Amino acid sequence: MSVPMVHAQGVRKQFGRLEVLKGIDLTVERGQVCCLLGPSGSGKSTFLRCINHLEKVDEGQLAVDGELVGYRRQGSRLHELREKEVAARRRDIGMVFQRFNLFPHLTALENVAESPVRVAGVNRADARIRAGRLLGRVGLADRADHYPAQLSGGQQQRVAIARALAMEPKLMLFDEPTSALDPELVGDVLDVMRDLAADGMTMVVVTHETGFAREVGDTVVFMDEGVVVEAGEPRQVLLSPRHERTQAFLSKVL
């Protein structure tokens, strides 16, 4: 049997006295799209940040492609990795945030090419060629020389997706990638994500776009107050939810 791309066991995370994650168990198989739904403050984004060790888990274990996130095992004990080792493993995980976080002084092409050059040591000329191809993939080949201020929000988010893809990740994480966009700009970003899913990219997506979750997701997970309330195939969770809390949430967003 193949190793799951993401495997979480009993993951807990606390900020001060506030317990944000209360024992998350979740498995995402290779090539699957997992959509996390739930109200604000339910722990979705925190869990996403734990997957690539932007947040350290307090209890439990998280593994990506069979390797523990942020730790290595020696016998029965876990040892935390050094930041350099964490950064090296993080290269395999692309992440797209609500805000685009593009470098304002770099063009779209330069934004996409920068990480392969700086982090992976790719030749700059080769990185620019690949960046051009990726901008074409997200429908922005004609915006390569534009600066972020010259792009719409949707275009900036598509550049951010291309930038994440430039490191050739095995897993893509999306933290509400359309929440900061005007409604008419959402479709272009979701189209890019649909294409990635069709190409077999493993994705974990925090989203309020239930239509996207129903159409593209292999698994929908509803979280509330730091726990997984309900998980299953999109049709089952979205159209025939079993739990009252899921039903109450979906009645307000569908």
What does the pLDDT look like over 158-169, one tens digit per residue? 999 999 999 999
Distance between CA atoms of residues 107 and 150, nearest Å: 9
pLDDT number for residue 210: 94
What does the pLDDT look like over 95-105, one tens digit per residue? 999 988 899 99
Distance between CA atoms of residues 139 and 75, nearest Å: 49
Residue-wise DSSP of 94-128: EEE-SS----TTS-HHHHHHHHHHHTT---HHHHH
Distance between CA atoms of residues 99 and 15, nearest Å: 23
DSSP H/E element including 194: helix 183-198
pLDDT number for residue 1: 64
Distance between CA atoms of residues 187 and 81, nearest Å: 40
Residue-wise DSSP of 60-83: EEEEETTEESSEEEETTEEEEPPH
Contacts of residue 233, defined as CB under 8 A and 6 or more positions apart, other chains included, come to 218, 219, 220
Backbone angles phi, psi at 228, to 5 degrees: -85, 110
Residues of the chain scoring pLDDT < 50: none
Sheet of 67-68: strand order equals: 18-28, 6-15, 59-64, 67-68
Determine the distance from the C-alpha atom of residue 46 to the mean position of all C-alpha atoms in its chain, rounded to a whole number. 11
Per the rule left: phi > 0, alpha: psi between -120 and 50, beta: everything else, 107 is beta
Q: Is the pTM of this model over 0.85?
A: yes
